[in-house]
Structure 1
Amino acid sequence: MEEDPTLVAKAWTLHTLVPVTVEFWQADASRVHTRLRYERDAAGAPWERHRLWP
């Protein structure tokens, strides 16, 4: 009998994340790292980009 790839163990729990804020950080050799934050409201409006550094 072939296993069903969509079958999940009953002991597992499914969590769904709906992010409203995401931050990205990119290192730079000269230590002028780039930090960006993307935000949106819970209603799902388009993402707004904010530069945190530099």
Structure 2
Amino acid sequence: MLTTKLNSYTFNKNGIWYFSRRVPADLRRHYRTNRIAYSLRTKSVRDARIRAMSTAW
């Protein structure tokens, strides 16, 4: 499943790059999970790096 890491927040699954972050402890009561992950909608390492850095986190 987890094949390649770009940095500590991105991972490659089946050729698509994803962004993933833990939910801070003080906000966990507002979320159903401890981690939020979503697709960066790209197969390009370059585009994934740009999109991961431009996220609102």
Give the TM-score, by structure 1 length.
0.30
Q: Specify which structure has the higher proportion of helix.
A: 2
Using CA pairs below 8 Å that are at least 6 residues apart, which structure has the higher relative contact order? Answer: 2
Give the TM-score, by structure 2 length.
0.29
Look at both structures and tell me which one has the larger radius of gyration over its CA atoms. Answer: 1
